[in-house]
Structure 1
Amino acid sequence: MSLDRGGEKFFLRDEVVVRNQIDSAWVIIHGNVFDITSLFDANSSSLKKVHQLLLALAGKDLSVYFDTQRRPVYRISKDGARVPVFPPVKIRNSATGEYWWNDRSLLIGKITAQERKIRVVNNVTFQQCNLVVCEEDTIAEIRRKFLRFNDNGFNYRWRSNINLTDTAADLQLDRTLTGNGIIYDRYPPAPLIWLFYQIPDGSEAEETTPSAPANNSRPAAQVAN
């Protein structure tokens, strides 16, 4: 997940896919991400059928059921009645009285405009992590995500190449990959980012080995041998 553009949140599609349970349910509608968890009673053993249908599609992109204005698509029944193609659009959020798909309190962000694959390499150990991040992620946000693999992540200089004499290679933490001149290329290999460890001022700490990934629901990276 990325937090950028004045606080707007961005997500990878894979971050939504895993939110498919009654206690954590997200859906996508035309690039917008909705957290619909509050529509379900996690303690209930018998949901209404219309709620069961919506829950069955948690973690998925429901755009096909909505027009480009994010309004439900309707059809004409054999009796001549106008009915929604997707019955769960009739569900309202009991807390606000709004239809869930039109409730801004359930809108938590957007799908990233572009998923970015990068290779993060330690210049001492040459251990490599392959990450997938949001185009909107700043280097600071990418660094925060990297803490899953090395809890000393804040003690590295993040650079676009291994040549220490190239001062322009130091990445600006408040800028995105693109903002740092690392342009998206659909063809492999993914761009390299080099990590140079720095012992914190007043500390005799030595670099630690990257910690094992947490058991999150979606692996954001792989560690290459």
Structure 2
Amino acid sequence: MAVSMPTEDAGAMRHSRYYTPSEVAAHNTAADLWVSYLGRVHDLTPLLQDFPGDVLLKPILEAAGQDISHWFDEGREDIRIEIDQFTNCQKYHTPRGRFVHIPPPMPQSDWFNNFGTPWWKDPKYEVGYLSEKTRYIRIINTLTSQEQVLEVCSEETMNEILERYLMYNTHAASYTWKYDGVKLDMDKTLEENGIVDEDEMFYELQMEPDSFRQSILLYFNDDLTEL
């Protein structure tokens, strides 16, 4: 069995509407920092650049690449509120410590609240959605016998999965994609194409899904299309 390698352009993946948790986790440095919360993915790198060296960035840096939905009240879509045991007043719940745009517990003359929209409500940082359920699918190139197992988002269409596969084959659009002998509708998701998610069934049967991975077969069309 031949295993294909990513092309030199592997890092240049197109913008995606949905991201896997592992993709978010890869952006975990001060120079490239993503987090997810309430089902959305946010690139906070520009925020860090606006506050270089600020101690209030520490909780955000500690959360780099992680899901921080537990920081939020889902109903209000805002940071959780609690009662301060000393002042008996409401304050934001920040167990990792106060962070950027969170007001100080007591009045301070050096704190300015004219920043506009707090970062967690500002849509300019949003880059896409966090997948509610990811799936692993095996893609087999019948021309070269190369195969790859990709982690994809269940919400993605086949065209979006094709874009993920471009790092292994830039001519992926020159193939007819089939499952169980049937040509796939590239504008539909795996589920909509009848490729059902069997993870729960394997879990109930105590079987290892890696041994029974669903496979999509690619048949070359001989037109060398590149996306």
- Cα offset for 1:73? 1.3
Find 1:12's aligned residue among 20, 23, 28. 20
The higher-RCO structure (CA 8 Å, 6+ apart) is 2
Counterpart of 1:218 in structure 2 is: none
SS in 2 for 1:137: coil
Find 1:194's aligned residue among 217, 222, 226. 217
Alignment of 1:125-164 (within 5 A): 125-161=144-180, 163=181
- Cα offset for 1:102? 1.1
SS in 2 for 1:129: strand
Structure 1's unaligned 5+ residue stretches are 164-168, 206-225
User: Closer, same or farther in 2 for the Cα pair 1:95/1:78, shift >3 Å?
Assistant: closer
Measured in 2, the distance between the counterparts of 1:77 and 1:25 equals: 31
* Cα deviation digits, residues 23-49 of structure 1 (max 9, x gap): 2211111212122111112894xx221
Find 2:139's aligned residue among 112, 120, 137. 120
Find 1:71's aligned residue among 78, 91, 94. 78
Conserved? CA contact 2:29–2:61, under 8 Å: yes
- Cα offset for 1:95? 10
Structure 2's unaligned 5+ residue stretches are 1-12, 104-112, 203-208
User: Does 2:39 match 1:31?
Assistant: yes
Q: Calculate the aligned-residue CA RMSD, in Å.
A: 2.7
Conserved? CA contact 1:2–1:137, under 8 Å: no
How many equivalent pairs are there?
Answer: 189
Conserved? CA contact 1:172–1:180, under 8 Å: yes
Find 1:173's aligned residue among 171, 181, 186. 186
Conserved? CA contact 1:140–1:173, under 8 Å: yes
User: Does 2:81 match 1:52?
Assistant: no
- Cα offset for 1:78? 3.2
Please, what TM-score do these two structures have when normalized by structure 1? 0.74
User: Closer, same or farther in 2 for the Cα pair 1:116/1:34, shift >3 Å?
Assistant: same
Identity of aligned residues (%): 28
